[in-house]
């Protein structure tokens, strides 16, 4: 598969009267799973939607493989960047296979919309279903599946695009621990296959465990960017999240269950 890096240069974004992102620059490399962390409203989702080309109102530029994101046609962009928004929905009573097949839309011409998918599409869909362990539920209606199964179907849809860049927005929210780990293992294995993977995450333990790099957003800027151990320092966590480890603990202990909320 084609490998492309993703770089954001001086991204600023103002939504309404609020400056959501202020001069953000970083780059993500193929083979790495980059976690985007930060508090609610820190701009994680906005950043991902800008990188995906969905949010067009921003300053600065996004390059994929050295080319400007805006210079691609819609289909070319969609083939390079697969995106899973927060709380994805399926509006009609489609089955898992049909949802996964929608991932092949960027490859289809508008005039053959009634034909059956060609073998390449079928192969991509089958591979995506197998690698997300959804092959057993491919014929089930998505509405009848559990949250964890649904998220895997949406991931299968993303994988079916076979894009070198994968962006996912809070894929683990609402999932049980087993499904959370499963989901991040999937993303990491995609990275290991050569994809550039970015995921917005809330669970810092999972982020520390699975991500190669972490990008910590705080009040519209990047507070820290690097390996998890460099980013998740008590000082950074205090600044961004206003949480601190209990006094008698090992400061490198990232088991956040014992951390305490700081009250002003």
Partner 1 sequence: MNLGFSNLIWLMVVTAAGLFCLSLTLPSGFSGSQTHAPFLLTELLGDNAEVAWLIFIELRVPRASLALLMGASLGLAGAAMQGLLQNPLAEPGVVGVSGSAALGAALAFYTGLSALIPMALPLGGIVGAFIAVILLFTIAGKRADTATLLLAGIALNAIAGALTALVLNLAPNPFAAMEIIFWQMGSLADRSLLHLKIAGPLIVAGWVSILLAAPATRALSLGEVTAASLGINVRSTQLQIIVGTALCVGAGVAVTGVIGFVGLVVPHLLRRVCNHDPAQLMLASAGGGACLLLAADIAVRCIPANAELKLGVITALLGAPFFLYLIFQLRKLEQ
Q: Which residues contact 226 (CB under 8 A, 6 or more apart)?
A: 213, 214
Q: Indicate whether 103 belongs to the interface with partner 1 (CB under 8 A).
A: yes
Q: Which stretch binds partner 1 (CB under 8 A): 99-107, 185-193, 199-207, 229-237?
A: 99-107
52 vs 64 by CB, closer to partner 1: 52
* Integer CA distances (angstroms), 171 to 25, 52, 83, 98, 185, in order: 24, 16, 11, 20, 12
Backbone angles phi, psi at 40, to 5 degrees: -60, 130
Cβ neighbourhood burial of 193 (10 Å; 0-12, 13-18, 19+)? middle
Tell the smallest beta-carbon distance from residue 141 to partner 1 (Å).
9
Q: Indicate whether 129 belongs to the interface with partner 1 (CB under 8 A).
A: no
110 vs 178 by CB, closer to partner 1: 110
Instruction: Name the strands in the sheet holding 213-218, side by side, starting at the edge strand that comes first in the sequence.
Output: 81-84, 165-169, 196-200, 33-37, 213-218, 221-226
* Among 89, 71, 93, CA closest to 80: 71
Q: Indicate whether 54 belongs to the interface with partner 1 (CB under 8 A).
A: yes
The residues in 135-164 that bind partner 1, with binding defined as CB under 8 A, are 157, 161
Q: Which stretch binds partner 1 (CB under 8 A): 11-19, 69-77, 184-192, 213-221?
A: 69-77
Q: Which stretch binds partner 1 (CB under 8 A): 28-36, 96-104, 188-196, 199-207?
A: 96-104
Report d(CA 258, CA 78) in Å as an integer: 42
* Among 201, 152, 154, 148, CA closest to 175: 148
* Among 100, 94, 89, CA closest to 161: 100
Pairing of strands 243-244, 260-261: antiparallel
* Among 146, 147, 95, 148, CA closest to 125: 95
Under rule CB under 8 A, how many of the chain's residues touch partner 1? Answer: 35
Q: Determine how many CB atoms are found less than 10 A away from the CB of residue 143.
A: 12
Q: Which stretch binds partner 1 (CB under 8 A): 1-9, 83-91, 184-192, 217-225?
A: 83-91
Q: Indicate whether 81 belongs to the interface with partner 1 (CB under 8 A).
A: yes
Q: Indicate whether 263 belongs to the interface with partner 1 (CB under 8 A).
A: no
Q: Which listed residue (3, 108, 181, 236) binds partner 1 by CB under 8 A?
A: 108
Backbone angles phi, psi at 177, to 5 degrees: -55, -40
Report d(CA 157, CA 187) in Å as an integer: 13
Q: Indicate whether 43 belongs to the interface with partner 1 (CB under 8 A).
A: no
The residues in 159-218 that bind partner 1, with binding defined as CB under 8 A, are 161
103 vs 245 by CB, closer to partner 1: 103
Q: Which stretch binds partner 1 (CB under 8 A): 76-84, 118-126, 180-188, 201-209?
A: 76-84
Q: Indicate whether 92 belongs to the interface with partner 1 (CB under 8 A).
A: yes
44 vs 157 by CB, closer to partner 1: 157
Q: Where does this chain bind partner 1 (CB under 8 A)? A: 49, 52-54, 73-75, 77-79, 81-85, 88-95, 98-99, 102-103, 105-106, 108, 110, 113-114, 157, 161
């Amino acid at each position: 598969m084609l490998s492309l890096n993703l770089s954001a240069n001086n991204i600023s974004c103002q939504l309404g009267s609020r400056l959501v992102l202020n001069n953000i620059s970083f780059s993500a490399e193929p083979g790495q799973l980059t976690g985007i962390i930060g508090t609610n409203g820190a701009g994680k989702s906005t950043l991902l939607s800008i990188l995906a080309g969905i949010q067009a109102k921003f300053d600065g530029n996004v390059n994929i493989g050295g080319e400007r994101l805006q210079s691609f046609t819609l289909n070319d962009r969609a083939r390079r960047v697969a995106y899973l928004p927060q709380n994805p929905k399926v509006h009609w009573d489609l089955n898992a296979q049909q949802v996964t097949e929608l991932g092949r839309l960027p490859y289809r011409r508008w005039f053959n919309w009634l034909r059956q998918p060609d073998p390449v599409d079928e192969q991509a869909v089958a591979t995506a279903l197998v690698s997300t362990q959804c092959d057993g539920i491919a014929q089930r209606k998505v509405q009848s599946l559990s949250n964890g199964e649904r998220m895997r179907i949406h991931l299968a849809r993303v994988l079916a695009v076979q894009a070198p860049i994968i962006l996912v927005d809070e894929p683990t929210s609402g999932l049980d621990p087993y499904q959370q780990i499963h989901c991040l293992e999937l993303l990491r294995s995609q990275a290991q296959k050569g994809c550039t993977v970015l995921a917005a995450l809330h669970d810092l333990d999972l982020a520390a465990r699975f991500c190669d790099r972490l990008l910590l957003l705080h009040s519209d800027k990047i507070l820290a960017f690097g390996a998890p151990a460099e980013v998740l320092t008590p000082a950074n966590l205090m600044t961004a999240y206003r949480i601190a480890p209990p006094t008698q603990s090992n400061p490198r202990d990232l088991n956040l269950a014992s951390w305490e909320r700081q009250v002003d």
